[in-house]
Structure 1
Amino acid sequence: MNAPTQEITALVGREVYSNNGVFVGEVEDVRLNLDDVKVTGLALHRVNHDLFGERARGSRGVIVPYDWVQAVGDVVLVSDIIERLRKPEEEEENEVAV
């Protein structure tokens, strides 16, 4: 028996979270490889600027590689690698000395 198929347009509008529960953004579009007939990325808007910092400021959004997608349901779960995109100097600036 084949797995049920789903329209890729059904991804549009779904919220994206890391598998740790951190909000990443909302799917605005999908990136396709027409030669291989497969989804290669998710174009996100309303992104979490705490994750993407200056890289996402002034842009329409970001593209997350589809390889990072862990699960698709009511929301899209992506690998927690997305949480490690912040540059080390950005983390240091946000740390509070105790």
Structure 2
Amino acid sequence: MNAAPEEITALVGREVYSSNGVFVGEIEDIQLDLDARSVTGLALAELNHELFAGEVDGSTGVVVPYRWVRAVGDVVLINDVIERYDTGDSEEEPSELAEST
């Protein structure tokens, strides 16, 4: 059965979880590259404060690179690299996780 394509704005409000099932945050906005017509990042708010303790305050969100996304459905799954962000074990540079206001 072919499902109708969804609007990109349908992602706003969806919860984001790591591939290990840890809640990361909720999508507040989408970062786009208009020239390439592609999604480049997901701006998250309502963050899991345990993951970002000491990194961002309550009024700040983060932008997760879209290449970390593994699956999109009722929720969005991202690589578990976000869980390693705080410990420094990440293969990705921590600077890739951009703060948004």
Q: Shorter-chain TM-score: what band? A: 0.7 to 0.9
How much identity, in percent, do the aligned residues show? 64
TM-score (ref. length: structure 1): 0.81
Counterpart check, 1:62 vs 2:24: no
Structure showing greater radius of gyration is 1
Superposed displacement of residue 50, structure 1: 1.3
* Residue identity in the other structure for 1:56: V
Superposition RMSD in Å:
1.8
* Residue identity in the other structure for 1:16: V
| Superposed counterparts of 1:1-98, under 5 Å | 5-87=5-87
Q: Which stretches of structure 1, 4 residues or more, deviate above 4 A after TM superposition?
A: none
TM-score (ref. length: structure 2): 0.78
* Residue identity in the other structure for 2:53: G
Q: When the two structures are aligned, how many residues end up with a matched partner? A: 87
Unaligned runs of 5+ in 2: 89-101
Distance 1:19 1:58 in 2: 24
